[in-house]
């Protein structure tokens, strides 16, 4: 199967989940009139709430626990705690280590800088151009902002740690212009196509994939040592055998010696590659993703082409290293942009959950507390 053909379907599953298939793409292109009306505009970067996340697969044993009747919930909870303890802890540690080298604030600053570099880009006469670039915080200011291009990005390291994926969504809404769907429908257009942003699209960047290590006795020894180190208490002692962590560690050590490497086990080794040389690889790929996003958002704002479900991707750019930028021509992601490395042999997976750094969790909590305190103060003032 052609990987370039199935990629949009995987992206669709990531963005949309299991829903009733729709007959029109998610992209909302501007028309000539709207482009002329917008002219010079501000780009607002939504500050990253998660930083670089580490994805992993959370196991749910609720089906297995059902056989125990009333005790099923308790049984499932214990089983889940044992099965998920190691992967969750490792994902958390990876997120902490990446955040130490490239915190969310650095991600935001990098994207702002790349977008600012496009301010002098020559566009079509009277086309959309960038006047300035600012930031906003969606926790403190959750409502959409009118008359600006809002940009929001997520950064995720794959389940096995082999690839970094950056997904950016750009939108433009204004009360001055009513959205008119460019798509045709046999009957009345769905409600979702009768209002909202006049422009919207998604830009996805995937890094080159790191080679997957093969299992070997030496690698198994290193894996066991890493597992033991990860479960050690602050004093360096192993957890007691009958504790939840002790049982989880024993389960992971047994799995480590089975002659196969699970994806979360592979990540133990590959995460180190992203952290080497003060995160040189991580910083390089984030920079590449932000350069791609900044360039193509501006180009796309000035592109009036209406995407369709014709199933044919359009190659927009091919780089010397084989990386391609494609405009998708299949499913609801038609019209979105994907930047992929050349000679991609296989896809990596992104689990069903992600972990972000403890520092970022604390930052988000502080911002939410700040907002709640402000709202409470406003309510108290209104009562007086």
Q: Which residue has the tokens 């597992």?
A: 227
**What pLDDT score was predicted for residue 8?**
44
pLDDT by residue, tens only, the chain of 384 residues = 345 444 444 444 444 445 567 889 999 999 999 999 999 999 999 999 999 999 999 887 554 444 544 444 544 556 676 677 778 888 999 999 999 999 999 999 999 999 999 998 755 567 999 999 999 999 999 999 999 999 999 999 999 999 999 999 999 999 999 999 999 998 899 999 999 999 999 999 999 999 988 878 888 888 888 888 878 888 888 888 888 888 888 888 888 788 888 888 889 899 999 999 999 999 999 999 999 999 999 999 999 999 988 889 999 999 999 999 999 999 999 999 999 999 787 788 998 999 999 999 999 999 999 999 888 877 676 666
CB 219 within 8 A of CB 186: no
Separation of alpha carbons 355 and 102, rounded Å: 15
pLDDT of residue 16: 44
Quick one: pLDDT at residue 12? 44
Q: What is the pLDDT of residue 246?
A: 87
**Per-residue model confidence (pLDDT) at position 77:** 59
pLDDT at 19 (0 to 100): 52
**Are 57 and 264 contacting, i.e. CB atoms less than 8 angstroms apart?**
yes
């Amino acid at each position: 199967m052609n990987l370039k053909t199935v990629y949009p379907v995987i992206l669709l599953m990531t963005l949309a989940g299991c829903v009733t298939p729709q007959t029109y793409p998610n992209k909302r292109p501007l028309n000539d009139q709207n482009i002329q009306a917008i002219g010079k505009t501000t780009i607002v970067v939504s500050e990253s709430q998660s930083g670089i996340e580490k994805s992993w697969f959370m196991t749910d044993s609720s089906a297995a626990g059902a056989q125990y009747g009333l005790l099923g919930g308790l049984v499932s909870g214990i089983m889940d705690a044992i099965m998920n303890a190691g992967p969750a802890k490792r994902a958390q540690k990876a997120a902490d280590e990446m955040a130490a080298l490239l915190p969310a604030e650095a991600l935001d600053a990098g994207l702002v800088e790349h977008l600012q570099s496009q301010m002098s880009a020559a566009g079509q006469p009277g086309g959309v151009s960038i006047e300035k670039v600012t930031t906003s915080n969606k926790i403190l200011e959750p409502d959409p902002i009118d008359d600006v291009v809002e940009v929001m990005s997520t950064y995720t390291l794959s389940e096995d740690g082999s690839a970094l994926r950056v997904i950016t969504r750009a939108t433009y809404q204004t009360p001055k212009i009513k959205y008119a769907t460019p798509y045709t429908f046999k009957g009345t257009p769905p409600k979702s196509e009768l209002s909202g942003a006049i422009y919207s699209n998604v830009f996805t960047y995937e890094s080159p994939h790191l080679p997957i290590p093969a299992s070997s006795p030496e690698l198994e020894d290193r894996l066991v040592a890493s597992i033991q180190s990860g479960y050690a208490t602050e004093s360096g002692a192993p957890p007691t055998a009958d504790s939840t962590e002790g049982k989880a560690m024993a389960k992971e050590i047994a799995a480590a010696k089975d002659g196969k490497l699970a994806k979360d086990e592979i990540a133990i080794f590959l995460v180190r590659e992203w952290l080497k040389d003060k995160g040189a690889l991580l910083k390089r790929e984030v920079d590449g993703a932000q350069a791609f996003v900044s360039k193509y958002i501006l180009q796309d704002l000035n592109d009036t082409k209406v995407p369709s479900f014709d199933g044919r991707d359009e190659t927009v750019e091919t780089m010397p290293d084989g990386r391609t930028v494609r405009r998708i021509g299949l499913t609801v992601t038609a019209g979105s942009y994907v930047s992929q490395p050349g000679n991609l042999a296989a896809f990596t997976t992104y689990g069903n959950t992600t972990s972000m750094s403890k520092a970022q969790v604390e930052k988000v909590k502080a911002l939410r507390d700040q907002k709640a305190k402000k709202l409470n103060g406003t309510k108290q003032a209104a009562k007086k």
